[in-house]
Amino acid sequence: MAEIALRDVRKSYTKGTWVIHGVTATIADGEFIVIVGPSGCGKSTLLRMIAGLETVTAGEIDIAGRVVNQVEPKDRNIAMVFQNYALYPHMSVYENMSYGLRIRRLPPAQIRERVERAAKILELTALLDRKPRQLSGGQRQRVAMGRAIVREPAAFLFDEPLSNLDAKLRVQMRLEIQKLHRELRTTSIFVTHDQVEAMTLADRMIVMNAGVAEQVGRPIDVYDDPNTLFVAGFIGSPAMNFLPGERHGNAVDLGGGVSVPLPDGLSDAPPKITVGVRPEHLVAGEAAGTTFRFRVETLEALGADSLVHGAMGAHTVVARVEGHMRPAVGEALAFTARPGKVYFFDTASGQRLRG
């Protein structure tokens, strides 16, 4: 296992055009870090630089106390699991898992011991003689992980390994990856665009946006205390409601007679402010606190709960309610935000305003 340190890591393909804008983070020994963000945000590029598959334009990458910017991928003591399984179709599961060890000319007994131990962890023992075409998608991905495990690397790098699986298999594989990390405690970096994967897998997450690490922290901290409009909107499902307005004195005017009071300490807030509140933080009925009134437009019944979509002047608001609530389209409803769960952002910069 190893600590991985990124120090102001930057990437540019053409002069003056940066795709990674100075990422700094430290992944502790044995930690599971998830890099999450939308397509094109630079998360896979950052992972590939750690792996040595992309050159580093500026900054340093340190693995186990050694700067590896100029070190070949094979000499970094890392193992990578890709989105596609990359299995040799003519080889058995055992041969696929042992291939890298045979190339390194390890003793046959040691190879067998490592493969059998990994197969037991991944529940592949009964499948070692099968070819990839005889396996399901989930089994093939476990073989790809097994091939990485047998190398006993200092760190695992996962590049969207669950993207090719159906929804049910993705849930199952998430549980297996969690179990695997608990058993091995190997430093791991996992890239995904799926914020549910990030929330459920990560010890900490790095939220990327357009090549910038917008926030680094524990999933619950990023969810509860987002630093920017982007992070607040990307983490959480359904997304946070954003209501742009203008500051008038100590309140934000959202139009249509709706005003939200500013917390203490924001007397010098900018003139354009966006108010944010999560659907799950809106409670049906009027109570002490910030109340939102809107007219129901659509209802998504999800079983245990439902999503109520409504119009509040020029704004659209979504509220999560218990499943037994079935408001009719056109019905007027009132919701009160939970205390401390209304967020304020500078509309121009996207930065969080804190009282």
pLDDT digits (tens, 9 = 90+) for 259-297: 888 888 887 889 999 999 999 999 988 877 788 888 999
Rounded (5°) CA angle 185-191-196:
90
What confidence tens digit (pLDDT) does each residue in 36-48 have?
Answer: 999 999 999 999 9
pTM score? 0.90
Q: Which residues of 267-280 are buried (b: 16+ CB within 10 A; e: fewer)?
A: eebeeebbbbbbbb
DSSP secondary-structure letter at 351?
A: B
Whether pLDDT at 198 is above 70: yes
What is the rounded average pLDDT for all residues in the chain? Answer: 91
Q: What is the pLDDT of residue 342?
A: 94
Q: What is the mean pLDDT of residues 249-259?
A: 86
Q: What is the mean pLDDT of residues 302-313?
A: 89
**3-class DSSP state for residue 180?**
helix
Which of 75, 60, 78 has its CA nearest to residue 9?
A: 60
Q: Domains in the chain, ordered, with CATH?
A: 4-227 (3.40.50.300), 238-353 (2.40.50.140)
Rounded CA separation 298/318 (Å): 10
**Residue 277: both structure tokens together:** 């509140």
Whether pLDDT at 1 is above 70: no
Question: 307: buried, middle or exposed (CB in 10 Å: 19+, 13-18, 0-12)?
Answer: middle
Whether pLDDT at 16 is above 90: no
Contact criterion met (CB below 8 Å) for 37 and 49: no
Question: 195: buried, middle or exposed (CB in 10 Å: 19+, 13-18, 0-12)?
Answer: buried
Q: What is the pLDDT of residue 86?
A: 84
Rounded CA separation 217/206 (Å): 7
Which of 85, 93, 86 has its CA nearest to residue 126?
A: 93
DSSP secondary-structure letter at 143?
A: H
